[in-house]
Amino acid sequence: MSDVPHELRERIAGDPFCAALDIDLVALEPGYAETRMTVTEELLNFHGTLHGGALYSLADAAFAGASNSHGDTAVALETNISYLAAVEPETTLTAVAEETHRTGRTGEYEVVVTGDGERVATFRDRVYRP
């Protein structure tokens, strides 16, 4: 059972942008989130592989869930993504975000994105809590 209130979980899971990309929130705990997306033809770039913006969005959704899971509004201060491998159509990707540091006003998170058992991206980020 999650320590995240049901209303907060539903608000995070109901993100309209994530819905447009078919990004699902599959786990949410304080300081932790997991999102999932299957690569469709609509998400490909002109090389026939997953568009970097779609991969970034999957990682960012996990980051948003983890950083807002404490119930306080958290907004991104900075993000950085390392693309490690091309992703083919029909691959199911999972992004796991974990809190690595938290103070009263800021937090740091690392998101690992995997597909077919392989790490395809690492996303690092910081938030501010106003």
Instruction: Please check whether residue 10 lies inside any domain of the structure.
Output: yes
Residue 1 lies in a domain: no
Residue-wise pLDDT tens digits, 30-70: 999 999 999 999 999 999 999 999 999 999 999 999 999 99
| CATH number of the domain bearing residue 103 | 3.10.129.10
Strands (E), the chain: 24-29, 32-38, 75-83, 92-102, 106-115, 118-128
Residues 67-99 pLDDT 10s: 999 999 999 999 999 999 999 999 999 999 999
| Residue 74 DSSP SS3 | coil
- Which residues form the domain of 46? 6-128
Write down the pTM of the prediction. 0.95
Q: How many domains is the chain built from?
A: 1
